Amino acid sequence: MLTGYARTSTTDQTAGLDAQLEALKAAGCERIFKEHASGAKQRDQLDEALRFLREGDTLVVTKMDRLARDLRSLLDIVKDLEDRDIGLRILDFAGETINTRSATGKLQLAMFAAFAEFERTMMLERQRAGIEKAKAEGKYTGRAPKAMNQKDSIKALAAEGLTRAAIASRLGVSERSVYRALA
């Protein structure tokens, strides 16, 4: 059985979700799970789709980023599917359709996912290098430490017996910031 999964990051992306649903229906999906969720957060419908799948089924998504944001997450999902004899078909992966039911599809997926992760890592390294350069030139100072500007207030509230959580809530800072200010 072909089972589809479609996701958009926000509820405002209705057109994107509709396009995914059309592509999944055209691919022959008999059941489609859909949701509006950030890739980094809990994805209840993806979890439901993974529970729904049975041996011999195939999970179909339009693009890899609808399924996973990084290589580790993708490989974990693929491993789970393989262990349960469930295939994965990605309709558009760098212009190619990938189907893990074939040896070539498995190889393509591994290579493309590794390249995508490599590019993401390189982008983060360039970003860090740019920040370090800007700091060295005095052009980048980062975000102002909100809690440190309220250190006296934090200490006064702590002296009154308020918990760290209550102090954080009252001043609009994180509990970790309260701990640092009191250290």
Same domain flag for 13 and 94: yes
Q: Which helix (H) or strand (E) holds 170?
A: helix 164-171
Per-residue burial over 22-35, b if 16 or more Cβ lie within 10 Å, else e, is: ebbeebebeebbbb
End-to-end CA distance of the chain: 58
The domain total for the chain is: 2
Judge whether 19 lies within some domain. Answer: yes
Same domain flag for 115 and 157: no
Distance of CA 65 to the CA centre of its chain: 8
Which member of 9, 153, 169, 174 is catalytic?
Answer: 9
Indicate the residue among 120, 138, 159 that finishes a domain: 120
Sequential pLDDT tens for the chain (183 residues): 999 999 987 655 667 889 999 999 999 999 999 998 765 567 889 999 999 999 999 999 999 888 887 777 888 888 899 999 999 999 997 788 889 999 998 888 778 778 877 888 898 899 999 988 988 888 877 766 677 778 888 889 999 998 988 888 888 888 888 888 888
Same domain flag for 95 and 157: no
The model's pTM: 0.61
Active-site residue 9, yes or no? yes
Same domain flag for 109 and 29: yes
The two tokens of residue 109 are 């997926």
Residues spanned by the domain of 166: 148-182
